[in-house]
Chains A and B, each alone.
Chain A
Amino acid sequence: MTELTCIVCPRSCKLQISADKETLIVTGNACKRGAVFAQNEMTDPRRTLCSTVATVFPEAPVLPVRVSDEIPKAKIFDVMREINRTVVKTRIGRGDVVIKNVLGLGADVIATSDLLKEKAGETS
């Protein structure tokens, strides 16, 4: 039997996973997302990734980004290398794609802020 802590939500359920021939039996999960998490974690562990990407704008030297979908855990540092190789040159906003289909993983790196569209003190 394997024990895992579910990281889907702050509840942090303790999951017990046992294998019955081909199928995995998951207990300890408070919701069905926990069972899905355990399945994935045992076969193809994936994580989300949040970081920042450099920009050419001095008032906002970096723009926060994340992957649009979870990526294989083993690819995190490869994707970080791609993100750190990128420089944003246009005033893109929240949800805009920064790197399309990063490393062919089926997820985009997207901006998570409208920071570059704001002007300091705009609301005053």
Chain B
Amino acid sequence: MKNESYDVVVIGGGPAGLAAAISAHDSGAKVLLLEREARLGGILKQCIHDGFGLIRFGEKLSGPEYAERYIDEFHARQIAAVTLTFVTKIEKTGSGFTVHTVSRNGVARYRAAALVLATGCRERTAKQVFIHGTRPAGVFTAGTAQHFTNLLGELPTKRCVILGSGDIGLIMARRLTLEGAEVLGVYEAKPTPSGLTRNLHQCLYDYDIPLYLSHTVTRVFGTDRLESVEISEVDEHMTPIPGTEQRLDCDALILSVGLIPENELAESLGVKLDPKTKGPVCDGQNMTSVDGVFSCGNALHVNDLVDYVSENAAVAGAAAAAYKPQKRKPVEIHISDTLLYMVPQQLDLARNNNKTAVYFRARGDYNNSRLALTVDGKEVFSRRYAFLRPPEMEKLELDFDGMGLTETSDVQFKLEPQTEKG
């Protein structure tokens, strides 16, 4: 049985894993990347639309183009990679880890001094949004529809309803329309759309696809294949309003109802998760609560731009390459209720935090809000934002080292919506 040793083992060959592996290699580490699919690139392989890379490359690239730029960089460095390989178990052994895998060649074990978990995220399914009725074929996630259409070249529907206004749903509404399917509408239970504003315009309004807010699918009908769905209006608590039901004939119900970081491997190692992000609690080096285990990309928190995934993963890769066991000096970062979440959730004062990227989302749509950072009640930083929305993540770069932090410091980020000038 194979039993090789590496400084850093990266799990996942999507944009996060690729950037982490490249960065770890460039920091001098011996790196191995493990990928369960046949090809590197992760979900970007099927994201054939453009809009990727504006921040990273200053160009509007399609998903495959963005991914392949990193894949080319990865191969140019001759970094070891094993594809069609599934991680079955990770054990903490001695000062490092043993990663157990299975592939066509059988089982293998790899030793790692540090791990980068770049396992991405999963789509929420019909079961998780409580859609009742029979169980016909034709109810699937937007990502599945995208896989059929863009990788297999099979149009999975002729006439469909899309539930949820997440970006993948909007992108698929356009994609299916272009290929000749009829998209009856995008139905969103919340009173505000979930996707980026520009996607509402270039994916729905450009093609006269209607968007219905405060509406949801309450039942599905059909025996072998979906025949129709029942749509209801919902109240402010997202509870369906009786008497508003209408039935629409369609052969597919496509769900774009959110993404959840995939952290089963992380949890098996005892990594603490943040209920807000559903990803690991991390410090400014992307290290989780377990020493030597790093997290990045959509496994850490669901990003809306891949450019930030690459950037964040590069931090994790470099930190994993430089990892040596040492005592931590953690300080928690607290956030106000007006923030949906913030990453990192803590800082390790034993490490450099002079150029720490901070990612956050606002809880609501706020005009002219003000973000303030206080340390022990004293304001040390503030910034004004003209317009914040939950679907649009914001990024800050801060020098925490200049703030005189100690392990007992009270570090608070407070977002004040609609503040007066002054």
Q: A: which residues have CB within 8 A of B? A: 5-10, 12, 47-52, 54, 61-62, 64, 66, 73, 76-77, 80, 84, 94, 112-115, 118, 120-124
A123 to B40, CA, bound (A): 9
> Is the beta-carbon distance between B64 and A123 smaller than 8 angstroms?
no
Chain A contact surface mostly: loop
- Cβ–Cβ < 8 Å partners of B54 in chain A: 9-10
Interface residues of B (CB under 8 A from A): 38-40, 45, 48-51, 54, 60-65, 68, 75, 81-85, 103, 105, 149-153, 178-179, 196-198, 200-202, 206, 304-305, 392
Residue pair A50, B198 in contact (C-beta under 8 Å): no
- Contact status A47-B202, CB under 8 Å: yes
* Min distance, Cβ B27 to any Cβ of chain A, angstroms: 21
Name B62's closest neighbour in chain A (CB-CB): A112
Bound CA–CA A84/B153 (angstroms): 11
Residues of A within 8 A of B60 (CB): 48
Cβ B201 vs Cβ A52 within 8 A: no
Is B304 a contact partner of A64 (Cβ separation < 8 A)?
no
Q: Are A66 and B62 in contact (CB under 8 A)?
A: yes
Minimum CB–CB distance from A33 to chain B (whole Å) comes to 10
User: In the complex, what distance in Å separates the CA atom of A50 from the CA atom of B83?
Assistant: 28
Contact residues in B for A77 (Cβ distance below 8 Å): 178
Q: Is the CB of A50 within 8 A of B201?
A: no
Complex-state Cα separation, A61 to B68, whole angstroms: 19
B305 touches A52 (CB 8 A): no
Q: Say whether, besides A6-B198, A61-B153, A64-B150, A120 and B178 are in contact (CB < 8 Å).
A: no
Could you tell me the distance in whole angstroms from the C-beta of A72 to the nearest C-beta in chain B?
12
Q: Is the CB of A113 within 8 A of B64?
A: yes
Which A residues are CB-close (under 8 A) to B75? Answer: 123
Cα separation A118 to B305 with both chains bound (whole Å): 26
Q: Looking at the assembled complex, report how far the CB atom of B270 sits from the nearest CB atom of chain A, in whole angstroms.
A: 30
Please state if A61 and B83 are interface contacts (CB–CB under 8 Å). no
How distant is A89 from chain B, measured CB to nearest CB, in Å? 15
Give the residues in chain B near A48, CB-CB below 8 Å: 50, 60
Contact of B201 among A5, A9, A62 (CB under 8 A): A5
- Closest approach, in angstroms, between the C-beta of B155 and any C-beta of chain A? 11
CB pair B84–A10 under 8 Å, yes or no, is no
Quick one: given A52-B48, A52-B153, A54-B153, are A123 and B83 in contact (CB under 8 Å)? yes
**Smallest CB–CB gap between A45 and chain B, Å?**
9
* A123/B202 in contact, CB under 8 A: no
Contact in complex: B50, A50 (CB < 8 Å): yes
Which 5 A-B residue pairs are closest in the complex by CB-CB distance?
A12-B197, A62-B153, A113-B64, A64-B48, A7-B198
- The answer to whether A7 touches B201 (Cβ under 8 A) is yes
The CA of A124 and the CA of B106, in the complex, are separated in Å by: 13
User: For A113, what are the chain B residues with a Cβ–Cβ distance below 8 Å?
Assistant: 45, 64-65, 68
Q: Give the distance to chain B from A8, nearest Cβ to Cβ, in Å.
A: 8
Determine the chain B residues whose CB is within 8 A of the CB of A50 once the complex forms.
Answer: 48-50, 62
Give the docked Cα–Cα distance between A8 and B201 (Å): 11
Chain A residues within 8 Å of B63, by CB: 64
Are A112 and B48 neighbours in the complex by a CB distance under 8 Å?
A: yes
Q: How far is the CB of B411 from chain A (nearest CB, A)?
A: 29
Q: A51 vs B51: C-alpha distance in the bound complex, in angstroms?
A: 14
Interchain CB contact under 8 A, A76 and B153: no
Check if B84 sits within 8 Å of A121, measured CB to CB: yes
**What separation, in Å, do the CA atoms of A123 and B72 have in the docked complex?**
12
Q: Which of B50, B68, B153, B305 contacts A114 (CB 8 A)?
A: B68
- A61 CA to B152 CA, complexed, in Å: 6
Q: Are B62 and A5 in contact (CB under 8 A)?
A: no
Tell whether, in the assembled complex, residue A5 and residue B65 are in contact, meaning their CB atoms are under 8 Å apart: no
17 extra A-B contacts, CB within 8 A, seeds A64-B150, A73-B206: A5-B197, A7-B201, A8-B198, A9-B54, A12-B201, A12-B392, A47-B202, A48-B60, A62-B152, A62-B153, A64-B48, A66-B62, A77-B178, A94-B64, A112-B61, A123-B40, A124-B103
| Complex contact B198–A5 (CB within 8 A) | yes
Q: Of the candidates A7, A54, A62, which one forms a contact with B150 in the assembled complex, judged by CB atoms under 8 Å apart? A: A62
